[in-house]
Each structure stands twice: as C-alpha cells, then as structure tokens.
Amino acid sequence: MFNKLLVANRGEIAIRVMRACRELDVRSVAVYSDADKTSLFTKYADEAYHIGEPTPAKSYLDINKIIDVALDCGADAIHPGYGFLAENSNLGKQCEKHGIKLIGPKGSVIESMGDKITSKKLMRAADVPVIPGTDKGVSSIDEAVKIAESIGYPVIVKASAGGGGIGMRTVYEEDELVRAIESTQSVAASAFGDSTVFIEKYLEEPRHIEFQIMADEYGNTIHVADRECSIQRRHQKLIEEAPSPIMTDELREKMGAAAVKAAESIEYSNAGTVEFLYSNGDFYFLEMNTRIQVEHPITEIVTGIDLVKEQIKIASGKELCCSQEDIKVNGHAIECRINAEDPLADFAPNPGKITGYRSPGGIGVRVDSGVYMNYTIPTFYDSMISKLIVWGRNRNEAMNRMTRALSEYVILGVKTTVPFHKAMMRNPDFRAGKLQTHFVDQHQKGIMEEMEKVVAEDKEREARLKSTFLPNKKIAAISAAVGSYMSQASQNSDSKNK
C-alpha cells in the first residue's frame, strides 16, 4: 500500500479521496490555490501545499507544480479526482517518468480514449456498437455534405478532442451544416487547441446510460452495474440514478458485457466509465471516461463497494475485491448536484458567501460536500456546493426520500439549484421514469412554473430559518475560533505549507 497520496484536485472530491486514504491508513496531501486557502479540504488533509494563483492554469492545471510537490513531500501516488487533470495523458506520462503511481489508467490509454475519433475506431474494432458516423476528422465541407447525406439528417457535429458538449451542434438540414462545422471548429480550437471535428447520426430522444468499470493490473475486468444520467442541461448532468429505470437483468447483462469488452480491448486498468446512448431498444458507445465520475456515489450505495478505495488498492498492486458474480444491485439511489446557480435565471452562476448552512440527514441520506457556514464560494471554479445522494428500497421510495432531504437542506446567502431539484421530484414524467437527454428542454415551461411555486413556498421558510442562526458577531467569533483550532490541528499533524 502507498505511504502518501497527493490529491490533485479540490472541493468535495478532494475530501472524498482523503476519506478513503484515512480508512486505508495512507497519509493525504492537498494542493491549493490562493482562492482555496481557507477551503475545508486543505484542513482535512494531513499535509497542504500552496501551488499558485486562483486561475486553474496557474495552479490546479500546472502539471510541473503538482509533480514538484509530490516529489518534495515524498508522495508515492497521485489521485486526480475528476475535472482539471483527471483525463490529461501528460500527467500520467509525467507520473511514470518520475516513479509516481497515478491512480488511474496508463497515459497512453487516457490519450486514446480522450480522442473521440480514436476511441470510436477502437470500439468498432472491438465489435462494440457505435453510433453511425465518421471514423476520422472532416477534411472539407464537400466531404461533410456527402457524409451527412449518407448518414441521414439530423446529424451532430462534435469536437474530436472535447468533452462536456462544448462546441457541439445539431444539424437538421444541409443549409445549417457549414455554419455548424465552422462554429464547432472555432470553439474546439479555442477550448482544446484542436479544431478537428467529426459527424455522427443524431438520435432524437436517447437515454444516457453508463456502466461503471473496474479493472486490475492482472487482467480482471468487471462492470459495477449501471447508472442513468439522462437529466441534463446543455449536455451537463444534473440528476443521476442507479439503476436506470428501464434496466432489466437481460439488458444489464448485454450492455455490461459490451462495457467490459470495451475496457478489455484497450487493456484498461483502474476505475472508468463506459457511456452509452440507448434508443428504441438499441444502444451505442458514446465515450469512455478514464476517471472516477461525479456520480460514483450512487453506484457505491446500491452495490456496497467503495470505488475510491478500490481505485487506490488496484493502483497499489492488489487484485479486484470481487468477481462479476458478486455484483448485486440493492435498491435505488438518486444523486442531485447542488450548485450555486440561479435556476430561475437560466442557471446563472451565483457564487458568494454562505451565511447559513445545514445539511439534511436521516436514514438513506448522504451528503458529499466541501463547504461550511461563512465559506465563500470562489468565482474561479465550478459552483458545486455538494452532491446530495439518497437510497431507497425502490425508485419511488428514493424519490420521496430525496424530496424530504431537499426540504431539509438549508443554504442561505447564495441562490442554489435546490428549487430545480424539488420541481423535478414533483414532475409526473420524471416520477414515471420517462427520461431522455432532452427532458429538461422539453419540459422547460412546466419545470419553470413549478420552480416559481417552490421559491414562493420557500421564502417564508427561509425567513424563519434565518432566525435560527446566531447573530453575525457570534458567527464571526465562532468561525474565527474554529478556523484557529483547525489551523493549529493541521500544524500539529505535521502539515507543511508553502
């Protein structure tokens, strides 16, 4: 097992990894920017090192700084979490160069799966179903027109090197194609430094279903069941659940086998996710994420497997903890991403100071968070406050439990996505499991009206809740005392600060 592990990330995922380290008796190392000096994860770690300015390029995305800290503090492993450097093949290569173990697959695997064209070629070769489309970058407009005609409209234009739906354009007729390609190329060049685009068939109302993969360094590969992530906005996931409401034993066996085949074909090791689009009884490979996912907790809850601990164990040379036959799905789990955004203003970011905070609890409720009362959410990073996860014996109980948990959540000082999630839990089509990736757009009017009702209902409640928090002077005094105590505790645990 490792002696010391550096977490090259921030916020709730940094704390999640550090918790796994504590259970494995591995010392954890945090790195932080100027903006995160008072963040909870820097205090939770056994050691903490300053690495630069708030902008990610000058801190969390600076591979040289990350490697230097790891070498200086004697860390023998690095966990990248998700986002930032999590799917950066150069980090993997630098770790290999300096004898540091990356908690993840080899750099070459990250590179091949990070390119959408290359990954689809590899999947076709492995006989994994792939959406009809090009297997290389589009070289000219004339070629694009011919390809689109052969596939049949609508088609979708994507950036080869991209992710998160950045630059993606849907095209319904030839007149739109030229503008779509030029737009996507421009966005791709700016965001990823690579203007290569490709074209594939656009599925009108697909479901987004993914399979968690775990593989060790001895050739053992399993899937840890499925998740549905169809509730999205601009290709960003908002609500996830496990298992998918449409999943059957037969379908899980079929899709799971394809996911395992995908991982085995590239000699994958560690945790990963194979994502599929499901439409009209057929499923197609979408992409493979070579990291732990934001939504991993729902898989942990329904299977009882600590995926992050397994990641660390596998990277240290241990075999998988279980076989495919050991994987059982128990009940249903739902995750809501609670962000500092105003859902009534087109989800505009709303960073700021949290003046009141109380998280929900009770049976079947888990909150993964990195915030606290009087914490100021930085403007430099994504606005996630927490991930609220619930478990129920079935989907209906899980939805009811999520409704209850959302009603208990108190976050004052910033606007959040809690009203959106409350509205979704009331939506009859969502409750019936009639999901697809355009659900939020198609139900926008109804969701907006329901959110307005929720906000109105919460106004009186919020006014009452404000009186339950201590006066500002007392809060400031207590926060200062807690901060001083945590700082002293950090120093006593041999934490170093640069």
Q: Is the pLDDT of residue 158 over 50?
A: yes
Are residues 172 and 213 located together in one domain of the fold?
no
Q: Is the pLDDT of residue 396 over 50?
A: yes
Find out whether 370 and 41 touch, Cβ atoms under 8 Å.
Answer: yes
Distance CA 42, CA 488 (A): 13
Q: Encode pLDDT of 445-469 as tens digits.
A: 999 999 999 998 888 777 776 666 6
More confident residue, 15 or 487: 15
Are residues 73 and 175 located together in one domain of the fold?
no
Are residues 342 and 271 located together in one domain of the fold?
yes
Asked which of 76-85, 159-168, 237-246 is least confident by mean pLDDT, the reply is 159-168
pLDDT score for 490: 47
Q: Mean pLDDT across the stretch 237-241?
A: 97
Q: What percent of the chain has pLDDT over 70?
A: 93
Distance CA 59, CA 206 (A): 38
Are residues 98 and 158 located together in one domain of the fold?
no
Catalytic residue among 291, 337, 366, 401: 291
Find out whether 215 and 263 touch, Cβ atoms under 8 Å.
Answer: yes
Task: Decide which of 201, 219, 241 is a domain's last residue.
Answer: 201
CATH (domain of 281): 3.30.470.20
Q: What is the number of domains present in the chain?
A: 3
Distance CA 428, CA 352 (A): 34
Non-local (6+) Cβ contacts of 98 within 8 A are 67, 70, 71
Confidence bin at 493 (pLDDT 50/70/90):
very low
pLDDT score for 483: 54
Q: Is residue 428 part of a domain?
A: yes
pLDDT score for 159: 87
pLDDT score for 365: 98
Q: What is the mean pLDDT of the chain?
A: 91
Are residues 360 and 429 located together in one domain of the fold?
yes
Take residue 466 and report the two structure tokens written for it.
Answer: 């404000």
CATH (domain of 136): 3.30.1490.20
CB atoms within 10 A of CB 249: 8
pLDDT score for 496: 46
Are residues 187 and 211 located together in one domain of the fold?
no
Across 431-463, b (16+ Cβ under 10 Å) vs e yields eeebbbbebbeebeeebeebbeebbeeeeeeee
Q: Is the pLDDT of residue 487 over 70?
A: no
Are residues 38 and 152 located together in one domain of the fold?
no
pLDDT score for 335: 98
Please name the amino acid found at residue 96: E
291 counts as catalytic: yes
Find out whether 211 and 265 touch, Cβ atoms under 8 Å.
Answer: no
Q: Is residue 139 part of a domain?
A: yes
Q: Is the pLDDT of residue 224 over 90?
A: yes
Domain containing 140 equals: 132-201
Q: Is residue 493 part of a domain?
A: no
Q: Is the pLDDT of residue 126 over 90?
A: yes
**Reported pTM:** 0.87
Are residues 185 and 307 located together in one domain of the fold?
no
pLDDT score for 413: 94
Q: Is residue 483 part of a domain?
A: no
Are residues 277 and 417 located together in one domain of the fold?
yes
Q: Encode pLDDT of 251-278 as tens digits.
A: 999 999 999 999 999 999 999 999 999 9
Find out whether 258 and 223 touch, Cβ atoms under 8 Å.
Answer: no
Q: Is residue 484 part of a domain?
A: no
